[in-house]
Each structure stands twice: as C-alpha cells, then as structure tokens.
Amino acid sequence: MADATRDTSSDRGFAGPLERVDECTWRIPKSYKSGMLVDGLIFADERLIPQLRSDRAPEQVANVAFLPGIQTASLAMPDIHWGYGFCIGGVCATDPASGGVVSPGGVGYDINCGVRLMRTNLTLADIQPVLVQLVNQLLRDVPVGVGQGGRHVFSPAELRMLMQEGVPFLERRGMATAADVALTEAEGCIPDAQPEFVSDRALARGSDQCGTVGAGNHFIEVQVVDRVEDATAAAAFGLHAGQICVLIHSGSRGLGYQVCDDSLRALRDAPAKYGLDLPDRQLVCAPVESPEGRHYLGAMRAAANYAFCNRQLLMWQVREVFARVLGKPWHALGMELLYDVAHNMAKLETHTVNDIQKTVCVHRKGATRAFPAGHHDIPDRYRDMGQPVIIPGDMGRASWVLRGGPRSMERSFGTTCHGAGRCLSRTAATKMSRGRNIQDELLRSGVVARCRSREGLAEEQPLAYKDVDIVVDIVHRAGLSLKVARLRPLGVIKG
C-alpha cells in the first residue's frame, strides 16, 4: 500500500485558503501559516475541489512547506489524500547544500511501492475463454495476502546482495532478462544502497516475501487496451487496441515497512539535535548530509532495490502461470516488460531551480517519476517519446499509460500522480459494502475478481477511489504526463 493511511483526522476537512492559479493548479499561500517557507501547490480542477475541502490532506501540504531547504513549493498531485506526515500524492525537493532535509514521511512505509506493466501478443478473443481459469490459477500460484511468504527464500547474506544489486542479482540467477533490467526504473538498482543499515528484524520479515503481492491496494490485474489516445507513442510502447496486458502493483513488503519503522525511531531526536522546528512530529527528518540522513537514505535505497526484485519475481511467476494455462512458453506469448516505475522514493536528482542547476532530494510520496522526452535517464527505446508512466485506477474502471510531459521538469520536478487516489477510508468503504457482494458486482461489470479475504474487496471497491479518468485528465492538461492508452480491467487478484 502507498502508506499506513489513517482513518482519523481526515473527516474534519480543510478550511484554509485555496487560491486558483490556473485551470489545473491551486495555491495555499505561504502566508497561511507562520513558518511556511514556500507556497503549497495542488494540481486539481473544480471537479476535485469538494473532495479536497472534505479532506485534511491540504493541511499536510502546508506543513511540508516548513521543511528546511525546500525548493519552489510543496506540491500535491490530484490523487491527494491523507497520509503519514506527507499526504499521499505529496512531492517536495530539498537542497542538501542549503541544509535540506530528508523525511521518511515523504517516502512512506511501503518504500518503492510501484507498478510494472507487461504487454503481450494476446487479444481479448485469446484470453476470454480461459479468463476465469487464468485468474484462479494466478490466485493459487502467486502468494497474496497479509504476511504471506513465497517460494523464493533468501538467507540474510543473499538478501544483502539482492538489496545491493537489485534486479541484476536476479538476472544472474536466471529470473530476469537483460530487457527486464533495462526497462525498470534506474535499471532496477538504486545506487549507494547500504544493506548493512537494514536491521535483522527487517531481514527476517523480508526473507520469504520477495515475490509476493501483499494486501491493501496491491494487486495483479489482467487488462485489455480499450482506447489509444496517442498512436505514435502507443506504437513506440508496443501497445495497440484490443491487446492484453498485465499490471502488477506491489512494493517492499514487510522489509520496507520495518526499515521505515526503524528509521522513524532512529530519527526521533534529530529535529532537536539540528534545531528543526516542525509543525507535525510525523515530519521527523534530518539534513540529507548528516549521519542520520545518510543512514536513512542508505537503508531506504536497499529496501527500494528489494521492491524492484519483488515485482520482478512476481512478473516471473505471472509469466509461468500464463504459459501453464495457455500451453505456450511466455516468450511465445510476447510477455515483455513495458516498464516498471516506483512511487514511494526520495532520490538525489539534478534539476533547474530559478535558472540554477542543482542536486536536490526529491521526495515522491504516492507519486510517479515522469521525465519528458530526451531525458538521459529514459531507456533508449523510449527516449524520443518520454518516460512511460503507468497510472492504476480501480479494479472496476480503468488504468492508464501516459508519457512524461513537457512541463513536468519545470512544474513538478519531473513528477506526476501515481493512481486514482482514495476518496473513502478503508473503514468507510467496508461500511458501505455491507449487504453487498462486491465480487458479484464486479463480475456483472465484466471483471473476474479473486481475493484472499472478503474485506479486501470491500476496502478496495471502485467507489473507494476517485475517477481515474478525471485525475489523469488533470495531469495531462497540466503537462505533467500525456495520455497514451487506456486499459480496462478483465481479471484481478488481491490479498
């Protein structure tokens, strides 16, 4: 899940100022609170303002503006909702050279929660006769659910190597291809990871969870491309109408959660030590260049590499299930990775701020990197189009493939939204589901859904989320990421 989202406090709503900047941007002026160093900026339009006002998440946008070294603005994407410290959908960049800080609350508990999209050479006609069998087999063969372990078990020494090397570690073991590595963000390995900073407790939690989905909003979904918006970009991404794709959403599981938990405890006294005045103790942080800041970043990067490997092993298992059900090797089914992109990360990147190029620490909490065409960090095959951006919606409506937009660098440090965004807490969604059968409702809409628990479907029902088409339309009009293709769900497994 994107964060350990709480169901309290968000019911009170936001009564502060929201000033319209343009058709897709609203400002919380830094005059709102004494201590704000920059404005808050939220990407939204009139359709989302009632939901924004009903949620306390904009207050968190204002609070992030207090962080030392923050650059330009405290940002939030249209999928904004309440989170731990930062809102989900929160983005900020801090300058280490001017005392800029790193905050675990700006990354979240599920470090490198992210999505991975596979395309295939299958069509709807190929998959429809075996869809139920395929979804049932996925549920049997791929571990899903709270605390579930899998068949890939690593010793502490192996885990440390995996966290140091990322997906190339799996390539050497025959569980990833060179193309899989090349088409993963950062080639599946965040540099300068320091696995020695990961606790024994975290290692124990992660020993058998690499290659497992988990619970919450994580899933594996079989989809069909039902609309192409940009034919040139879609062709570059290998997508066409009627094509079957598979979307995987998971993160660093219990290992990442423990790294965050350990870090929050370790940083508890850092604000007092460095004289940091924070409006919310959940924003606990330390200067990027401090021992505490370097320790957190080293452990976070190690957990991020674990998450890349988790999604790689999940994809490997999905390929095996498709091959078993359809009776052909996965290569013959064209099951190639389109791209894998991370959500919850803090990364040192080069950006231009006030016409000055500098290295900043970009926090993306429930937000996705969206570098535009020509950026050197985009794989060669996509560089002319821009980075593939994958935005999951909900299991009853749609997901989207976009490409990095021309204004993302200047407006959002190369960032866009990461999903539809919740509009109901899990408690509220479960309450709304009483007397209903969500699985049957989804089936009537053409979606075969399987879940380890009835509560899982209730919590993640489509009505718990904003309309992803609206959210995607906003980032498209804002120039953060541009529409390429819409994918409709056919079958899904969840924990």
Distance CA(418)–CA(472), nearest Å, equals 10
CA dihedral for 175, 167, 88, 388, sign (positive or negative)? negative
In whole angstroms, give the CA distance from residue 188 to residue 203: 19
Can 418 be counted among the known catalytic residues? Answer: yes
Dmax (CA) of the chain: 65
Domains of the chain and any CATH numbers = 10-100+112-494 (3.90.1860.10)
What is the β-pairing status of strands 345-353 and 388-391?
A: unpaired
Q: What angle do CA 121, 451, 119 make, to 5 degrees?
A: 15
pTM: 0.96
Could you list the beta-strand ranges (E) of 44-102.
73-81, 88-94, 101-102
Question: Residue 486 has which token pair?
Answer: 């819409």
Query: How would you classify the pairing of strands 415-417 and 448-451?
Result: unpaired
Contact 62, 19 (CB under 8 A): no
Tokens of 142: 């791929």
What pLDDT is stored for residue 8 in this prediction?
38
Sequence-distant (6+) residues with CB within 8 A of 281 are: none
CA atoms within 13 A on the CB side of 467: 7
Q: What are phi and psi of 397, to 5 degrees?
A: -120, -85
Q: What's the pLDDT at 7?
A: 38
Q: Catalytic pick from 81, 218, 363, 418?
A: 418
Instruction: Return per-residue pLDDT of the chain as tens, 495 residues.
Output: 444 443 334 457 999 999 999 999 999 999 999 999 999 999 999 999 999 999 999 999 999 999 999 999 999 999 999 999 999 999 999 999 999 999 999 999 999 999 999 999 999 999 999 999 999 999 999 999 887 889 999 999 999 999 999 999 999 999 999 999 999 999 999 999 999 999 999 999 999 999 999 998 999 999 999 999 999 999 999 999 999 999 999 999 999 999 999 999 999 999 999 999 999 999 999 999 999 999 999 999 999 999 999 999 999 999 999 999 999 999 999 999 999 999 999 999 999 999 999 999 999 999 999 999 999 999 999 999 999 999 999 999 999 999 999 999 999 999 999 999 998 888 998 898 888 998 988 899 999 999 987 788 989 998 889 999 999 999 999 999 999 999 999 999 997
Judged by DSSP in three states, 494 sits in strand
What are the helix (H) ranges across 337-467?
Answer: 408-412, 426-432, 438-444, 454-459
